């Protein structure tokens, strides 16, 4: 079983964050789940975490302060300085082909996930399927 040290969830929906945290903890997929409702706060944390970056980041596309695409632009300046990059997934309730294609072409993204995220989808991401 592949267990990650830290997973980071970035989404402005508190119910989604709560549910995802519970599912990840129930499945025992990682030691620590950090969540942020504001992407700017997440970026600041990434710059200052003494124990390093998370192993996996899941970021929502549509957020009020900074959307997922803007987050990726800012995140790129941080990750470019790392020797290994965390796995990064874009998460959205959008099934718009333009969003899916843009995500699939983005070099930092490992995938695009459509909400709701089920336990089965998480197990596949964590390599447990």
Domain presence at residue 100: no
How many structural domains comprise the chain? 1
CA dist., res. 86 & res. 78, Å (int): 11
Is the pLDDT reported for residue 39 higher than 60?
Answer: yes
Helices (H), ranges, 4-113: 14-27, 39-48, 68-79, 97-105
Instruction: Kindly state the average pLDDT of the residues 52-58.
Output: 94
Q: Return the closest-CA partner of residue 111 out of 93, 80, 88.
A: 88
Q: What is the CATH number of the domain that holds 25?
A: 3.40.50.2300
CA dist., res. 99 & res. 86, Å (int): 21
Domain presence at residue 20: yes
Q: Which domain holds residue 89?
A: 4-50+68-95+105-125
This prediction has a pTM of: 0.93
């Amino acid at each position: 079983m592949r267990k990650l040290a830290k997973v980071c969830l970035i989404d402005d929906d508190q119910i989604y964050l709560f549910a995802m945290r519970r599912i990840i903890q129930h499945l025992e997929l990682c030691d620590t789940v950090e969540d942020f409702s504001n992407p700017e706060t997440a970026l600041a944390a990434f710059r200052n975490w003494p124990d390093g970056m998370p192993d996996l980041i899941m970021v929502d596309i549509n957020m009020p302060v900074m959307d997922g695409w803007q987050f990726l632009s800012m995140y790129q300046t941080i990750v470019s300085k790392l020797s290994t990059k965390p796995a990064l997934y874009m998460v959205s309730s959008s099934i718009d082909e333009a969003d899916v294609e843009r995500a699939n072409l983005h070099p930092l993204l490992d995938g695009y996930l459509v909400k709701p995220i089920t336990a089965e989808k998480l197990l596949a991401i964590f390599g447990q399927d």
